[in-house]
């Protein structure tokens, strides 16, 4: 298997299993544009003694942390990654010890323990496809960059030892399409749903849109309104603030490609 | 405070706090008809070492076990029961040891431990109010009996040590109103949502509608179709089958009356 990035149309046409096999073999690239129509997901992996706190954090923060599936301790695949292995099938991971990032490995062999529990968390890539289908262009996709993400001044609801800021992703939307963007993303509650904030970044503690905490700086088209959605990096932000001994996430933009179709997460 | 059951109209007009205070003082009656417009809820209480399994069970069985709130170990109230105490504010509880029912006390003082975690689970009383408002009469309410509940042959998704049958509640609905009943209850995903089965009880392992596992035998009006909804007693059925050392639930029909309004759980 060649480890060069496939052509754009080839990437889009890979099955999720084929894409995961490429990443397992060592390809380490952002996953935007891979396996069109299939849901991509955030990861958060913690030792079993912290698992209740993470699941409770998700229950209390459903917009930022919508759980698509859970791998119990010792489990490395489920119906979201058939024949897969959560330890190897993402292109890149982030490992935190005591809240500090210590590594960004391309597989977890060196860090894996049998008491680790994996949470698979919905990702906004799913609703971005729906926005584009409905004629709303997504600036960071047009420019081939990563979505800008910010630690906001909104606090996540805390759970046990976990507490932290809500991380939000931002997309500039033309004023005439803001209502449509709200309506369309509302139909995807399992992948962050409706925006948490429309316009006026200062109100949620973002003083400079040009300096995101994660991802790439945005280009703001004239007349566009910054629209903010709850982001699946929020549990990682809580992990950074709450400093458990070990936690593992995906690397930003380097997601799990699941066997679930985007359309499964749409409500009527 | 008198411990007689108040008149029907008085019961309906009590605030949730007033109703809880009556039950705390010792009144032990089913809660149907109390505090009209406010959501009633199922309880499941377990030691902290089983709490992850219960929350994961709920995540994997959202139709039978929709979580409205969680009291962490040591916590006895939250915004669902302001100024309340989960140990005393229900009219009756069920205590299980090793899967066997050992008591149905009217308060939990004798059984309480500081490592107990409480899960507050949505209840179909909420969507029944919506059905009635929309002209669909509910037989067990008309007859002043408890809703019939059955252990079905549908298995709940298992989680850690927990596994068991999905318990379903049944309401006879005139054939012409079945579609409306589906449509209306679909709008309440946080309180069991749409039916899991319409007609033909044998297909889900129910051989005699006249012999429910919980609640009262139904009267089936001519031409009515038995319609089945996932029931919040399912986690208790899993507890009975999985036999943890200690678990506590509400007694059937003797619910927590919360400060949340039924209308909060309606989606557009």
**Using one digit for the tens of pLDDT, what is the confidence trace for A239-267?**
889 899 999 999 988 999 999 998 888 87
CB of B202 within 8 A of CB of B173? no
Written as six digits, the tokens of B31 are: 């809660």
In chain B, which stretches have pLDDT less than 50? 1
Chain A residues lying within 8 Å of B160, measured CB to CB? 72
Q: Does B157 touch chain A (CB under 8 A)?
A: no
Task: Identify the CA nearest to B73 among candidates B89, B52, B91.
Answer: B52
pLDDT tops 60 at residue A169: yes
Question: Is B70's CB within 8 Å of A59's CB?
Answer: yes
Task: Identify the CA nearest to B49 among candidates B259, B260, B247, B257.
Answer: B247
Q: Does A159 touch chain B (CB under 8 A)?
A: yes
- Burial status of residue A10 (CB atoms within 10 A of its CB: 0-12, 13-18, 19 or more): exposed
Chain B residues lying within 8 Å of A51, measured CB to CB? 52
pLDDT at position A108 is 97
Question: Is A55's CB within 8 Å of B59's CB?
Answer: yes
pLDDT bracket for residue A177 (50, 70, 90) = very high
pLDDT at position B189 is 86
Residue B51 is nearest to which of A52, A58, A70, comparing CB atoms?
A52
Portion 203-262 of A in contact with B at CB < 8 A = none
pLDDT at position A58 is 95
- Burial status of residue B62 (CB atoms within 10 A of its CB: 0-12, 13-18, 19 or more): middle
pLDDT at position B266 is 82
pLDDT at position B1 is 47
Q: What are the pLDDT digits (tens) for A119-162?
A: 999 998 888 989 999 999 998 888 888 889 999 999 999 999 99
User: How open is the CA angle B42-B47-A249, to the nearest 5 degrees?
Assistant: 95
pLDDT at position A142 is 85
Q: Which residue, chain included where needed, has tokens 């009527």? A: A268
Chain A residues lying within 8 Å of B48, measured CB to CB? 52
How near does any CA of chain B get to the CA of A243, in Å? 20
pLDDT at position A190 is 83
Chain A residues lying within 8 Å of B72, measured CB to CB? 56, 159-160
How near does any CA of chain B get to the CA of A203, in Å? 26
In whole angstroms, give the CA distance from residue B173 to residue B225. Answer: 5
Chain A residues lying within 8 Å of B267, measured CB to CB? 267
pLDDT at position B125 is 87
CB of B108 within 8 A of CB of B93? yes
In whole angstroms, give the CA distance from residue B238 to residue B251. Answer: 16
pLDDT tops 80 at residue A1: no
Domains and CATH numbers, chain A: 38-123+240-262 (3.40.1640.10), 125-234 (3.30.2040.10)
pLDDT at position B93 is 97
Element (H, E) at A10: helix A8-13
Output the CA–CA distances (angstroms, integers) from residue A110 to A44, A74, A87, in the order listed.
17, 15, 10
CB of A69 within 8 A of CB of A39? no
The secondary structure of residue B14, as a DSSP letter, is S
Q: Does A51 touch chain B (CB under 8 A)?
A: yes
Local structure of B142: helix, strand or coil: helix
Residue B59 is nearest to which of A60, A70, A160, comparing CB atoms?
A70
- The ipTM is 0.84
In whole angstroms, give the CA distance from residue B206 to residue B106. Answer: 32
pLDDT tops 70 at residue A230: yes
Element (H, E) at B70: strand B67-71
Written as six digits, the tokens of A183 are: 């309506």
Residue A56 is nearest to which of B70, B159, B267, comparing CB atoms?
B70
pLDDT at position A104 is 96
Element (H, E) at A250: strand A246-250
pLDDT at position B208 is 96
pLDDT at position A2 is 52
In whole angstroms, give the CA distance from residue B186 to residue B195. Answer: 8
The secondary structure of residue A245, as a DSSP letter, is S
Q: Does A48 touch chain B (CB under 8 A)?
A: yes
pLDDT tops 60 at residue A34: yes
How near does any CA of chain A get to the CA of B239, in Å? 18
pLDDT at position B2 is 52
Output the CA–CA distances (angstroms, integers) from residue B262 to B68, B94, B139, B202, in the order listed.
12, 25, 20, 33
Q: What are the pLDDT digits (tens) for A54-97?
A: 999 999 999 999 999 999 998 999 999 999 999 999 999 999 99
Q: Which residue, chain included where needed, has tokens 């995903």? A: B189
Residue B55 is nearest to which of A48, A52, A267, comparing CB atoms?
A52
Q: Are strands B93-97 and A100-103 parallel, antiparallel or unpaired?
A: unpaired
Name the percent of chain A lying above pLDDT 90. 77
């Amino acid at each position: 298997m060649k480890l060069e990035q496939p052509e754009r149309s080839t990437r889009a046409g890979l099955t999720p299993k084929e894409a995961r096999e490429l990443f397992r073999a060592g390809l380490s690239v952002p996953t935007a544009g891979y396996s069109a129509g299939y849901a991509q997901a955030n990861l958060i992996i913690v030792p079993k003694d912290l698992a209740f706190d993470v699941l409770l954090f998700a229950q209390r923060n459903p917009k930022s942390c919508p759980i698509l599936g859970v791998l119990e301790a010792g489990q490395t695949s489920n119906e979201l990654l058939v024949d897969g292995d959560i330890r190897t099938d993402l292109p890149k991971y982030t490992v935190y010890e005591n809240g500090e990032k210590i590594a960004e490995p391309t597989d977890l062999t060196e860090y894996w323990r049998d008491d680790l529990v994996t949470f698979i968390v919905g990702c906004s890539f799913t609703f971005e496809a729906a926005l584009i289908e409905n004629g709303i262009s997504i600036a960071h996709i047009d420019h081939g960059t990563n979505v800008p993400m910010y630690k906001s001044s909104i606090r996540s609801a805390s759970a046990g030892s976990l507490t932290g800021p809500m991380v939000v992703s931002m997309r500039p939307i033309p004023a005439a399409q803001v209502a449509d963007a709200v309506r369309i993303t509302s139909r995807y509650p399992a992948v962050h749903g409706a925006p948490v904030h429309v316009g006026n970044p200062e109100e949620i503690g973002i003083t400079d849109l040009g300096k995101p905490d994660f991802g790439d700086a945005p280009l703001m088209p004239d007349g566009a309104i910054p629209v903010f959605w709850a982001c699946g990096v929020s549990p990682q932000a809580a992990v950074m603030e709450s400093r458990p001994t070990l936690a593992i996430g995906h690397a930003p933009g380097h997601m799990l490609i699941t066997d679930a179709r985007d359309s499964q997460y749409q409500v009527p």
